[in-house]
Amino acid sequence: MNQFDYDIGIIGGGSAGLTVAAGAAQFGAKTVLIEREPRLGGDCLHYGCVPSKTLIKASRVYHVMKQGPQFGLPSVDPGPVDFALIRKHIERVIADIQPHDSPERFCKLGAAVEFGSATFVDDHVVDTGEKRISAKHWVVASGSSPAIPPIPGLNEVGYLTNKDIFYLDHLPKSLVILGAGPIAVEMGQAFCRLGSKVTMIQRSAQILSREDRDMAILVCERLRQDGVDIVLEAKVESVENGPQGRVVHVILPGGEKRSIQTESILVALGRAANIHDMGLENAGVETTSHGIVVNNRMRTSSKHIYACGDVTGAYQFTHAAGYEGGVALTNIIFKLPRKVDYTRLPWCTYSEPELASIGVNELRAKQAGLEYAVWTEPFSGNDRARAEGETEGFIKMLVDKKEKPIGVQIVGAHAGDLLSEWVAVMGGKVSLSTLAGAVHPYPTWAEINKRVAGNLLSRKIFSDTVKKGLKFVFSLKGRACIAPEETSE
């Protein structure tokens, strides 16, 4: 086939697909976007980022309403939560954003939008059930779905996922969460603060297992303070219906067993790429159990078909999907060999305290055999943190042997926003001396970034060698005061 209906066809209207569609249309490529759901926006808008952050904000406001005496204010009893009202609030926020991710907007940009399931007939043609559409290039951005474990009885008793949890008609009296990754941690804390009795079951010895233990443990401690029951190193043996709801049977370390009564079960054990029933084999697209196989240009085994976002099974973040979509678009439109680079990919878990990361942490540095040094600065040394009563947490900076930052992790209030300065510093190859010498407004949380960089540099600037040199050149007289504890040593 020499003539195609479109220059670029995109399967999936989530972050990656929308990025490609908007860019391709504006560059002048005849573009079609095919989405199987009745609305554009993908999981991020409808079942992930947007509803989860809206719910987290609601739970924090409810939590803060009870903290008046901590700030010299009267105590307040806000009363029980009506989750139906929170659900309406979530739906309003989504509706407010939806026009940005609408067929009308993309039509104005120049891209056609089709709704339906796309199945490859061959490497250039897909069938939507109503029509066949051909394109010179295809981008598969079909996303992912919740991974459901083969636990005996789970399908029979029923469970919730991120597809359901934001649209409940009432607040569960009790909630067992399977998993302790970012989604589990965020939802566990939020529902606990809203009034649910939450139990979190984790297979490994810590929550947020990709993060350094010293940082994850602070989040774990806060969750437990809020009332979340966290069961570590536990295996779910089976699930069944009981006289008072669902019963989750768990095997603890040492073989001890525990049965947990609960109204609802939330499965938060990772994601599975949406690669089935798409006819990818007809297009010559290689897949594994993790997703579609791509090279560093986001190209699949079929040279004119690309894939990006969750469907590749790599970094399942909205911002990663958008970034990968941009890389794929550059390769398709401009034929430039642009490659993905995840070295400085940031991410954040929006618990309280937040846990944000860019580059390598100690866990990954050790796994890679990297030589590094660690510099830290506690939130307790930040005046804004003291003023707002949020002194829990710290920033950790990893530097290589040339004392260049290779990773930064922050656990504490506003960690995700604080990390953005490090995105600019590491991405723009800004020196630590430039960061340490920059003027930050006072008092702000961001001063902690300046402080940790200054900690490393002050060791050199205020060293004995420098002081001796200055004394010799400028006849400085040295210290004017010696602390009593120093004289007693």
Q: Provide mean pLDDT across the span 281-303.
A: 97
Residues 372-424 have pLDDT tens digits of 999 999 999 999 999 999 999 999 999 999 999 999 999 999 999 999 999 99
Closest-CA residue to 182 (of 190, 192, 171, 174): 190
CATH topology of domain 6-40+102-146+272-333: FAD/NAD(P)-binding domain (3.50.50)
Query: How many CA atoms, within 13 angstroms, populate the side-chain half-sphere of residue 164?
Result: 14
Residues 339-368 have pLDDT tens digits of 999 999 999 999 999 999 999 999 999 999
Q: pTM for the whole thing?
A: 0.94
Within this chain, domains 6-40+102-146+272-333 and 347-464 share the same CATH topology: no
3-class SS at 11? Answer: strand
Give the dihedral of Cα atoms 213, 215, 217, 218; nearest 10 deg: 170
Residue 437, φ and ψ in degrees, nearest 5 = -90, -5
Residue-wise DSSP of 439-479: PPPSS-TTHHHHHHHHHHHHHHHT-HHHHHHHHHHH-----
Residues 252-282 have pLDDT tens digits of 998 999 999 999 999 999 999 999 999 999 9
Sorting pLDDT into bands at 50, 70 and 90, what band is 471? confident
pLDDT at 1: 45
The domain locations on the chain are 6-40+102-146+272-333, 154-270, 347-464
Q: Provide mean pLDDT across the span 107-112.
A: 98
Q: Provide mean pLDDT across the span 303-316.
A: 96
Q: Are the CB atoms for 166 and 90 separated by under 8 Å?
A: yes
Residues 125-166 have pLDDT tens digits of 999 999 999 999 999 999 999 999 999 999 999 999 999 999
Residue 305, φ and ψ in degrees, nearest 5 = -120, 130
SS (H, E, C) 214-225: HHHHHHHHHHHH
pLDDT at 388: 96
Rounded to whole angstroms, the Cα distance separating 327 from 315 reads 14
Rounded to whole angstroms, the Cα distance separating 379 from 396 reads 11
Q: Which CATH class is domain 347-464?
A: alpha beta
pLDDT at 488: 60
Sorting pLDDT into bands at 50, 70 and 90, what band is 250? very high
Q: Is the dihedral of CA 54, 58, 60, 61 positive or negative?
A: positive
The chain-wide mean pLDDT, for the chain, equals: 96
Residues 36-81 have pLDDT tens digits of 999 999 999 999 999 999 999 999 999 999 999 999 999 999 999 9
Helix, strand, coil tally for the chain in percent (to 5): 40, 20, 40
Residues 412-468 have pLDDT tens digits of 999 999 999 999 999 999 999 999 999 999 999 999 999 999 999 998 888 888 888
Per the rule left: phi > 0, alpha: psi between -120 and 50, beta: everything else, 66 is alpha
Residues 172-195 have pLDDT tens digits of 999 999 999 999 999 999 999 999
Residue 351, φ and ψ in degrees, nearest 5 = -85, -175
Closest-CA residue to 9 (of 104, 121, 144): 121
Residue 110 has pLDDT above 90, yes or no: yes
Q: Is the dihedral of CA 369, 371, 373, 379 positive or negative?
A: negative
Q: Which two tokens stand for residue 489?
A: 């040593």
Q: Output Rg (C-alpha) for the chain, integer angstroms.
A: 26
Give the dihedral of Cα atoms 162, 168, 170, 176; nearest 10 deg: -30
Superfamily name and number for 154-270: FAD/NAD(P)-binding domain (3.50.50.60)
